[in-house]
Amino acid sequence: MDMNSLSINMLNHFRHVTGDYDVLSRQLSSGQRIVRTSLDPSGLAISKGMQAQIRGAFTASHNAQETVQLLRLADSTLEDITSMVIRIRDLSLRMANQATANTQTSSNPMEIIPSDQRKMYDEMGSLAEEIRRRLGGLSLPTPPFIITESAVKFNTKDIFFAAYDSGQSAQVGPGGSTEYNFAIVIPSMTDIADSISVPAVPFPGNFSAKDFMDYGLIQVTEMDQDLEKINTVRATLGAQTRALENIVNDLNIQSINLAGAESKISGVDMADAAVQLKQNMIQQSTMNKALSYMNDMQSLKIQILAVLPIFMQDEK
């Protein structure tokens, strides 16, 4: 028996089995089938391409959700503004009730005589200031004009002060194509505050109840126009929000489907890999014993060759 050739063959096979053990153990620990490029080069390329699409869909979903939060902030602000505009409209209607007004005029325009109508006007002015703070507008309606920005910002960017008039693009797709751009449009709302008088410019002391009534009726018309614009803008925001929510759902479904397809390429069958690993360990154990036996046989062969000349000398 050629012990050397047999030993070399067994060692080569042992190295192969040991290499399989390394691959199987790495597959079980990572859950990935392609732990080496050489195992499936084309499959690895397909898997990495799918992983990039999955990550892209996840990031696009995050972008869309952030944009939804932007639109919800704008809508929530406009909901508060709606309540204030309606309150101003109510005050305007009450101010227009000349029959029960207790307003008294003064021969001196600088002498302001308190009245219910003036209190209503002051409250309207305070509401106008808060609307201006939220939406931005002209702090001074006459020269020199001073324009204040909106206090409502998202990531430091003014929402209502013309920043979104021409549209801002939201990237809501996994790729760089323009088809994944979604235009967010939030019209400037500064004219809402500019349509309401401010308390810094009070009515003169010689204004009568009829003057307040006329002013109140004008404000009713102004508030109706403001409410119409706010409602139109909120409807647009709602439509954009609904579209983005649908995009988020589509991206999540796309991510799930891509992940499932990618796992079939790169994922390992854990049960099958565990069985193969167990068989591999049995093979390694058997081969270790066989190699040990071969080493013993080789050692015995050397001993026999060492004493054989002595036996041959004794026979002579």
**Residue 83 counted as domain residue:** yes
Q: Is there a domain that residue 135 lies in?
A: yes
Specify whether 229 is located in the same domain as 120: yes
| Among 77, 91, 75, residue whose Cα is nearest residue 126 | 91
d(CA 161, CA 60): 27
Residue 97 has a pLDDT of 94
The amino acid at 108:
N
Q: How does pLDDT run across 37-70, given as a tens digit for each residue?
A: 666 677 778 877 888 888 988 999 999 999 999 9
Q: What would the mean pLDDT of 247-257 be, rounded to a whole number?
A: 90
Q: Can you give the length of the chain in residues?
A: 316
- My answer on whether 306 and 213 are in the same domain is no
Look at the chain and report how many structural domains it folds into: 2
Are 299 and 202 part of one and the same domain? no
Cβ–Cβ < 8 Å for 232, 75? no
Name the residue among 80, 82, 93, 27 with its Cα closest to residue 276.
27
Compare 96 and 206 and report the one with higher pLDDT.
96
Range of the domain at 296: 3-31+268-315
On whether residue 119 sits in a domain, the answer given is: yes
Return the structure tokens found at 129: 């200031």
What integer pLDDT is reported at residue 195 of this predicted model? 75
Q: Are residues 27 and 138 both part of a single domain?
A: no
Within a domain: residue 246?
no
Check whether residue 232 and residue 281 sit in a common domain: no
Q: Which residues share a beta bridge with 183?
A: 169
| Within-domain flag for 41 | no
**Is residue 69, in this structure, part of any structural domain at all?**
no
pLDDT tens digit sequence for 97-146: 999 999 888 888 888 888 999 999 989 988 988 898 888 876 555 555 55
Choosing from 216, 238, 260, the residue where a domain stops is 238
| Domain containing residue 94: CATH number | 1.20.1330.10
pTM: 0.72
The verdict on 24 and 100 lying in the same domain is no
The answer on 214 and 105 residing in a single domain is yes
Tell me if 248 sits within 8 A of 16, measured CB to CB. no
Q: Are residues 205 and 283 in the same domain?
A: no
Quote the pLDDT of residue 35. Answer: 60
Cα atoms in the Cβ-side hemisphere of radius 13 Å centred on 40: 15
Residue 206: both structure tokens together: 């010689």
